Amino acid sequence: MDGVIALYKERGMTSHDCISQLRKILHTKKIGHTGTLDPNVDGVLPICVGQATKISELLMTSGKIYRGSITLGMAFDTEDLDGQLIARKPVTQPLSTKKIDALLTKLTGDIMQVPPMYSAVKVNGHKLYEYARRGEVIHRDPRPIHVSSFKQLKPATFDEKAQTQTIYFEVACSKGTYVRTLAVDFGKLINIPAVMSSLTRIKSGGFTITQCVSLADVQQAVNDDRLATIMEPLKVALAGYPAVELDDSRWHIISNGGFLDRGLNSSTVPIIRLDYQGKTKALYKFDSQKQLYRPFKMFLANN
């Protein structure tokens, strides 16, 4: 049982809740996710099972895409609607589409972001949310992130009675990006309190929301003895890496952890996927000093 399940995480559940339930459904402890989603965020949560747990970090580093909304006119301590209201300022004149587009563009590219107090980032050995729950505010150094695109999905709506404006967006960003902080930073550009009012992750680890299955789907697949129909093999999860099909002699070499010469792949790409008899058995990394490919991730037991 080795592969990746593109799980749809429902709102109201933690990522740990999903792992806990899947361990019971699949009767295995060898399960890991590829980056948490807050309880109030739904969407794609790739789950690695068996040998695939070795690639969790690789899937985590892939870009992520979200869709959601930013509401202007109010701010919360958690930067989403789960927290306490800390600021309010009426929006009397709604932003134009052109103005919104210009502001979103300012938050793209390589930027520095201060992680929110309600986050799992560790400072002095403690998670920031632990300080926040005690009412403490700790200095956080800004961290580099990359936002490749930040755009509107449809025209913003203006609530004249509540004096708020809601912007509907799609953002593609790097690992470690806090989208709720992007929402707050959007408001700071125009000196208006802002909050991330909804968020759905639509792509992560190379998997899209259309590929996702629910916990109930996984349970049914196990009951029907067809788990393979919803679990993607390593070959699919690692499809982004150039593949080399091994012959028997090279399979013997890698099964003993040996190095492979650069003739294996003429372009000497940084990482290659090694398949044997249709199954992915390893990732090898190019060593530029020795001009050889060396073991990087091994999945010899993947059958």
Catalytic sites, residue numbers: 38
Which residues, in sequence order, are bridge partners of residue 195?
A: 71
Q: Which amino acid is at 242?
A: P
Q: How many CB atoms lie within 10 A of CB 13?
A: 17
Question: Tokens for 179?
Answer: 């989208």
**CA dist list (Å): 117 to 15, 135, 201, 251, 252:** 19, 10, 21, 49, 51
Run of H or E including 58: helix 56-61
DSSP string, 119-153: S--EETTEEHHHHHHTT-------EEEEEEEEEEE
Contact between 155 and 130 under an 8 Å Cβ cutoff? The reply is: no
